[in-house]
Chain A
Amino acid sequence: MQTEIAAATAHISDQETVAALRRGDEQTFRDLFARTYPMLKRVARGYVASDAVAEEIVQETWMAVIAGIDRFESRSTLGTWIFSILTNQAKTHCARERRALPFSSVVPMDAEEPVVAPDRFQNDDEAWPGHWATPPRPWQRPERRMLALEAREHLRRALAQLPERQRLIVGLRDVDGHSAEEVCGLLGLSQENQRVLLHRGRSRLRAELETYLDDAVA
């Protein structure tokens, strides 16, 4: 978020962005809105059940930002301030929907199932226990071409179907390109839990692509 805002306003400081928003500069606002939208919506979507409500939360957040910009005192960065408004809005919706907060301590981490089916590895009574019985087939040129084209839609759908927290972390890290430190800081998540969610999400997406590409080239 702070990176997005910094990137969106690389040529001007936080202070200048705030001044531009205060005088209602539409171009600065539209740029900032568009650049931060995917991240804000992704985080909001972690709290609520539908894309539509998440979109509503982003719009409400900006409404509160514009309404409150005169009171912004630069005690935090602009990005941190906007993000705190977003999470407050999202938490309110979350409570209204009677859902558990996505990263609250009462929500257990996702079940510790193996990320690759155990039957793809040799058993203890085989020659090389724990080593591949059904190894992955290296992706060659046809698979890589498909990955750049039609498999992308499949990946997009698979990402949308990941469990909420995995989808949020994979989205922020791998789609939006935020660092582990940024994601942990913004979501109040430990590095270890962040890596567990990233691992499970990425591994599931790899498996989805493997099945899709194996079927397609068979």
Chain B
Amino acid sequence: MHSATPSEDGHPAGGFSVTAHEVTCQQFVELITDYFEGALGPATQSRVEEHLVMCDWCVAYADQMEATVGALAELDDREAAQPSEGLLAVLRERQRI
């Protein structure tokens, strides 16, 4: 399963190569971002999708990754940013020009 044979589209997964036969869970967790980003070659993409059909645990892992990305989008990282008084003073100078 952890063959050194290059995959059909040569996509490495965490130091492994994906064989024509199967993606392991250990390979899947390294391929997941490329999968989400649509960056896998067609052969590896098919293997990943086949793996997900058969592996509930990797579905749970993918779901956790999605929930993590979703929680990041919800982070209220927008600080109450205010321009400094010095900056406003320079801007107001322009109003007099």
Residues of A within 8 A of B (CB): 21-24, 26, 29-30, 33-34, 37-38, 41, 58-59, 62-63, 66-67, 112, 114-116, 118, 121, 124, 129-132, 135-139, 144, 147-148, 151-152, 155-156, 159, 170-171, 174-177, 180, 191, 195, 198-199, 202-203, 205-206, 209-210
Contacts and interface: CB of A to CB of B under 8 A. Distances in A.
B79 A147 contact: no
B67 A63 contact: no
B45 interface: no
B95 A156 contact: no
A202 B68 contact: yes
Secondary structure of the B contact surface, majority rule: helix
B29 interface: yes
16 contacts: A23-B94, A23-B95, A24-B92, A37-B81, A59-B87, A62-B87, A115-B14, A118-B26, A129-B1, A130-B16, A130-B25, A148-B74, A155-B68, A156-B75, A175-B72, A175-B73
Contacts of A174: 69, 72-73
> Which of A58, A129, A132, A137: most chain B Cβ within 10 A?
A132
Given A136-B64, A206-B68, A116 B94 contact: no
B87 A34 contact: no
Nearest to B30: A115
Interface of B: 1-2, 14-16, 24-27, 29-30, 32-34, 37, 39, 55, 57-58, 60-61, 63-65, 67-69, 71-75, 77-79, 81-84, 86-88, 90-95, 97
A205 B68 contact: yes
A47 to B, nearest CB: 18
A38 B37 contact: no
Given A139-B67, A175-B72, A195-B33, A129 B91 contact: no
A55 to B, nearest CB: 9
Contacts of A159: 72, 75
Nearest to A32: B83
Nearest to B80: A34
B30 to A, nearest CB: 6
Nearest to B12: A112
Contacts of B61: 135-136
Contacts of B91: 21, 24, 26, 29, 66
Contacts of A206: 64-65, 68
A139 B63 contact: yes
Given A137-B60, A199-B34, A175 B77 contact: yes
B97 to A, nearest CB: 8
Nearest to B95: A24
Given A24-B94, A112-B14, 17 more contacts: A24-B92, A30-B83, A34-B81, A37-B79, A37-B81, A38-B81, A63-B90, A115-B29, A129-B24, A132-B57, A132-B58, A175-B72, A175-B75, A177-B73, A199-B30, A206-B65, A206-B68
